[in-house]
């Protein structure tokens, strides 16, 4: 049912409009209330519902970047300014929350995560954050297989051979660990997986089965299946065969992931792959979870592979329900650099392979054109520098080289980005969203094993992007890295390599304030949500994160350890430590 025909939605909008008009009335009365402005406030009849006080409030509003107080009515901000002036809006029923020395920021926005990963929440974790090395991962799988009842599977996640030492996984290795139990292991990048012989047999994947579109059942020189699977199309025969959570379980897992995100300071999540698992079933699942009033607002891209279905369903960019917005279309160009499937200008170190495009340049251009001409924002996944070239070429042809469309097209990850590509993006009105954990967790592997120092230096060039005038964001790509905005901010500020004292290209470091902006206002802007959230301004939703210390004042290597005191959504505290 579309929103225009949905009586519950229309009832909500009628109520919302009434409340909004009340908020606007108060906002107009206090339009002069900014830090240092004269005391101009509404009469007592227009008292605020809540007033939040703190010694340090970073608004991310360039016109008034610091404040001491925020007044909230009906979930919206009606005044921002100095303590005494905003307290002039206090009435008999106003709740005054004095946060003392804590720091208040706009709630963090993770502009690129995946709800589809919620379904693997119970899988065996064999990744680098929980597992010493590949030998340890093998022992975990061996133990799990020994404990699995007949008919069951071992399902493992987060494997990462690029930063875990040891013998690579293969069908032969997994057969030795579990000769009778089917095993499926997903790499943390989501683009590579492995299976053993019992799993191949149950999935009915044989050496003679053709590769699925845009995906590969990897074979050796004799044509035998190695056990390595590249890209989601190759996973599908296994996914439909192995045990899966029920809809209720999946919804519960997603709700838990959302609550974890709120605990990390997020008030907005942007899903970059809605429909990638169950097509319209993904939408229904998110609808179900959002109806349970979770502690974040939610938005996302629909996958391009079902574009015709979305069109038939009459879906358009915009609000779907109270806090759930459809923003654009997600397309893919290549795979994962650390998984050796990102498409590069030059071969990977010690190899002849440059990775691969998942679609032909013409197919990429076609999907960009279909979405662009119908008014959808595009978010195109491109990791390798050659993939970024192909995507920019397609945008150039589709837009005629103009940025006047105002659709805020994005390149997702945009990992290996050269100066001339940054200049093209600025001209075409395209912005990057960086998976900044690539630098911290994988930077050493890129530099020493996969790309070499020169190419690794152009990984996630945040400072260069900002100097060129691009609005950029930082993201987790959850489940690839955990949703942890303060860690992302620290990674962008330090560019340190995990487990070392080394730094990857320090010239690309940015300031804490710039990094915070990339996870608040500019992330919201990329998601077409900046009129609602991303900064603490009159008229916007009162989405706040309260931190026990100021990330702009602590030592850079202490940013990640700052404790989240609370998060607020629409003026209501939804998480408290």
Is 219 in a helix, a strand, or coil?
A: strand
According to CATH, where is 3.10.310.70 located in the chain?
Answer: 123-239
> In the predicted model, what is the mean pLDDT of residues 295-301?
98
Report how far residue 88's alpha carbon sits from residue 514's, in angstroms, rounded to the nearest whole number.
33
Judged against a pLDDT cut of 70, whether residue 53 lies above it is answered with yes
Q: Which of 12-16, 201-205, 236-240, 298-302 has the lowest mean pLDDT?
A: 12-16
DSSP string, 182-247: -EEEEETTSSEEEE-HHHHHHHT--TTSPPPTT-EEEE-TTS-EEEEEESHHHHHHHHTTS----H
Report how far residue 55's alpha carbon sits from residue 99's, in angstroms, rounded to the nearest whole number.
8
Q: Are strands 154-159 and 124-125 parallel, antiparallel or unpaired?
A: parallel
User: Between helices 361-373 and 385-399, what is the axis angle to 10°?
Assistant: 40
CA atoms within 13 A on the CB side of 333: 33
pLDDT (0 to 100) of residue 177: 97
CA atoms within 13 A on the CB side of 425: 30
Report how far residue 119's alpha carbon sits from residue 235's, in angstroms, rounded to the nearest whole number.
15
Question: Between 3.40.50.1980, 3.10.310.70, 3.30.310.220, 3.30.390.30, what CATH number should domain 123-239 receive?
Answer: 3.10.310.70
pLDDT (0 to 100) of residue 71: 98
- CA-nearest of 78, 23, 17 to 51 is 78
pLDDT digits over 362-408, tens only? 999 999 999 999 999 999 999 999 999 999 999 999 999 999 999 99
Ranges assigned E (strand) in 18-65? 50-58
- Per-residue pLDDT band for 526 (boundaries 50, 70, 90) equals very high
Q: What are phi and psi of 70, to 5 degrees?
A: -135, 130
pLDDT (0 to 100) of residue 3: 39
Q: What are phi and psi of 448, to 5 degrees?
A: -95, -30
DSSP state of 347: P
User: Between helices 437-445 and 485-494, what is the axis angle to 10°?
Assistant: 60
pLDDT (0 to 100) of residue 9: 34
According to CATH, where is 3.20.20.140 located in the chain?
Answer: 110-114+247-576
- Per-residue pLDDT band for 277 (boundaries 50, 70, 90) equals confident
> In the predicted model, what is the mean pLDDT of residues 216-222?
96
Fold entry, domain 110-114+247-576:
TIM Barrel (3.20.20)
DSSP string, 402-464: --TT----EEEE--B--HHHHHHHHHHT-EEEE-THHHHHHHHHIIIIIS-HHHHTTBS-HHH
Computed over every residue of the chain, the mean pLDDT equals: 92
Element (H, E) at 270: strand 266-274
Judged against a pLDDT cut of 80, whether residue 2 lies above it is answered with no
Fold entry, domain 3-101:
Urease, subunit C; domain 1 (2.30.40)
Which residues face 572 on adjacent strands?
569
Residue indicated by tokens 């003679």: 208
Judged against a pLDDT cut of 80, whether residue 139 lies above it is answered with yes
Report how far residue 457's alpha carbon sits from residue 446's, in angstroms, rounded to the nearest whole number.
9
Residue indicated by tokens 């996969």: 450
Report how far residue 408's alpha carbon sits from residue 103's, in angstroms, rounded to the nearest whole number.
31
Is 399 in a helix, a strand, or coil?
A: helix
Asked if residue 424 lies in contact with residue 432, where contact means CB atoms within 8 angstroms, the answer is no
pLDDT (0 to 100) of residue 19: 37
Other beta carbons within 10 angstroms of residue 490's beta carbon come to 25
> Would you state the torsion angle of the CA atoms of residues 366, 371, 375, 381, taken in this order, to the nearest 10 degrees?
-110
Asked if residue 108 lies in contact with residue 264, where contact means CB atoms within 8 angstroms, the answer is yes
Element (H, E) at 68: strand 66-73
pLDDT (0 to 100) of residue 214: 85
- CA-nearest of 245, 134, 238, 161 to 196 is 238
- Per-residue pLDDT band for 119 (boundaries 50, 70, 90) equals very high
Judged against a pLDDT cut of 60, whether residue 356 lies above it is answered with yes
Task: Write out the two tokens for 198.
Answer: 């019992």
Asked if residue 48 lies in contact with residue 90, where contact means CB atoms within 8 angstroms, the answer is yes
- CA-nearest of 321, 368, 412 to 114 is 412
CB-based burial, 202-219: b 16+ in 10 Å, e otherwise: bbebeeeeeebebbbbbe
Report the length, in residues, of the chain.
577
pLDDT (0 to 100) of residue 26: 33
- CA-nearest of 344, 394, 355, 401 to 371 is 394
Residue indicated by tokens 């993904």: 282
According to CATH, where is 2.30.40.10 located in the chain?
Answer: 3-101
DSSP string, 113-135: E-GGGGGGTTSEE-STTT-SSHH
DSSP string, 164-186: S-SPPP-HHHHHHH-SSS-EEEE
Asked if residue 471 lies in contact with residue 522, where contact means CB atoms within 8 angstroms, the answer is yes
Report how far residue 116's alpha carbon sits from residue 511's, in angstroms, rounded to the nearest whole number.
33
Is residue 327 packed enough to be buried (19+ CB in 10 Å), middle (13-18) or exposed (0-12)?
buried
DSSP state of 246: -
Judged against a pLDDT cut of 60, whether residue 43 lies above it is answered with no
- CA-nearest of 304, 311, 266 to 488 is 266
Is 563 in a helix, a strand, or coil?
A: coil
Q: What angle do CA 235, 236, 237 make, to 5 degrees?
A: 100
> In the predicted model, what is the mean pLDDT of residues 47-76?
98
pLDDT (0 to 100) of residue 48: 97
Task: Write out the two tokens for 68.
Answer: 């001491």
- CA-nearest of 450, 259, 423, 243 to 354 is 450
Judged against a pLDDT cut of 50, whether residue 416 lies above it is answered with yes
Element (H, E) at 569: strand 564-569
Q: Which of 26-30, 162-166, 203-207 has the lowest mean pLDDT?
A: 26-30
Asked if residue 441 lies in contact with residue 484, where contact means CB atoms within 8 angstroms, the answer is no
Whole-number Cα distances in Å, 406 to 61, 375, 525, 530, 532: 21, 10, 12, 14, 18
pLDDT digits over 445-500, tens only? 999 999 999 999 999 999 999 999 999 999 999 999 999 999 999 999 999 999 99
Element (H, E) at 9: helix 7-29
């Amino acid at each position: 049912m579309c929103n225009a025909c949905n009586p519950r939605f229309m009832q909500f909008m009628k109520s919302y409009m009434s409340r909004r008009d009340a908020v606007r009335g108060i906002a107009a009365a206090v339009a002069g209330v900014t830090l240092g402005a004269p005391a101009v406030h509404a009469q007592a009849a227009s008292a605020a519902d809540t007033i939040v006080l703190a010694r340090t409030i970073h608004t991310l509003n360039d016109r008034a970047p610091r404040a001491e107080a925020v007044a909230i009515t009906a979930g919206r901000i009606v005044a921002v300014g100095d303590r005494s002036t905003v307290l002039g809006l206090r009435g008999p029923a106003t709740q005054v929350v004095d946060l003392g020395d804590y720091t208040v920021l706009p709630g963090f926005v993770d502009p690129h995560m995946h709800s589809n990963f919620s379904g693997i929440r119970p899988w065996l974790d064999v990744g680098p954050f929980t597992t010493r090395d590949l030998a340890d991962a093998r022992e975990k799988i061996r133990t799990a297989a020994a404990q699995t009842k007949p008919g069951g599977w071992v399902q493992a996640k987060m494997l990462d051979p690029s930063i875990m030492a040891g013998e690579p996984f293969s069908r032969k290795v997994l057969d030795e660990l579990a000769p009778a139990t089917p095993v499926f292991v997903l790499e943390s990048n989501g683009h590579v997986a492995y299976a053993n012989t019992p799993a191949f047999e149950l999935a009915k994947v044989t050496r003679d089965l053709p590769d699925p579109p845009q995906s590969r059942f990897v074979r050796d020189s004799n044509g035998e299946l190695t056990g390595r699977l590249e890209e989601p199309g190759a996973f599908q025969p296994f996914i439909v065969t192995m045990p899966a959570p029920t809809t209720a379980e999946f919804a519960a897992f997603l709700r838990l992931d959302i609550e974890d995100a709120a605990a990390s300071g997020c008030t907005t999540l942007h899903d970059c792959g809605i429909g990638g698992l169950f097509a319209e079933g993904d939408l229904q699942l998110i609808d179900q979870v959002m109806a349970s009033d979770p502690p974040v607002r939610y938005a996302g891209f629909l996958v391009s592979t079902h574009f015709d279905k979305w069109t038939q369903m009459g879906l358009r960019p915009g609000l779907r329900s109270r806090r759930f917005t459809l923003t654009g279309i997600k397309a893919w160009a290549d795979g994962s650099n650390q998984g050796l499937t990102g498409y590069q200008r030059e071969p990977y170190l010690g190899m002849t392979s440059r990775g691969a495009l998942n679609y032909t340049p013409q197919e990429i251009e076609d999907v960009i054109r279909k979405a662009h001409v119908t008014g959808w924002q595009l978010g195109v996944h491109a990791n390798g520098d050659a993939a970024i070239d192909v995507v920019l070429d397609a945008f150039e042809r589709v837009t005629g080289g103009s940025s006047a469309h105002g659709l805020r097209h994005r390149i997702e990850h945009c990992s290996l980005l050269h100066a001339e590509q940054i200049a093209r993006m600025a001209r075409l009105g395209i912005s990057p969203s960086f998976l900044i954990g690539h630098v911290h967790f994988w930077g050493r592997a890129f530099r020493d094993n996969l790309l070499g120092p020169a190419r690794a230096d152009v990984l996630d060039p945040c400072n260069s992007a900002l100097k060129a005038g691009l609005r950029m964001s930082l993201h987790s790509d959850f489940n690839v890295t955990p949703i942890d905005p303060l860690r992302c901010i620290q990674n962008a500020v330090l560019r340190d390599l995990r487990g070392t004292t080394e730094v990857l290209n320090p010239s690309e470091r940015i300031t804490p304030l710039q990094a915070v902006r990339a996870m608040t206002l500019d992330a919201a802007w990329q998601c077409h949500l900046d009129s609602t959230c991303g900064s603490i301004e009159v008229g916007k939703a009162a989405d706040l994160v309260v931190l026990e210390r100021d990330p702009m004042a602590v030592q850079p290597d202490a940013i990640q350890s700052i404790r989240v005191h609370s998060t607020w959504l629409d003026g209501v505290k939804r998480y408290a430590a």
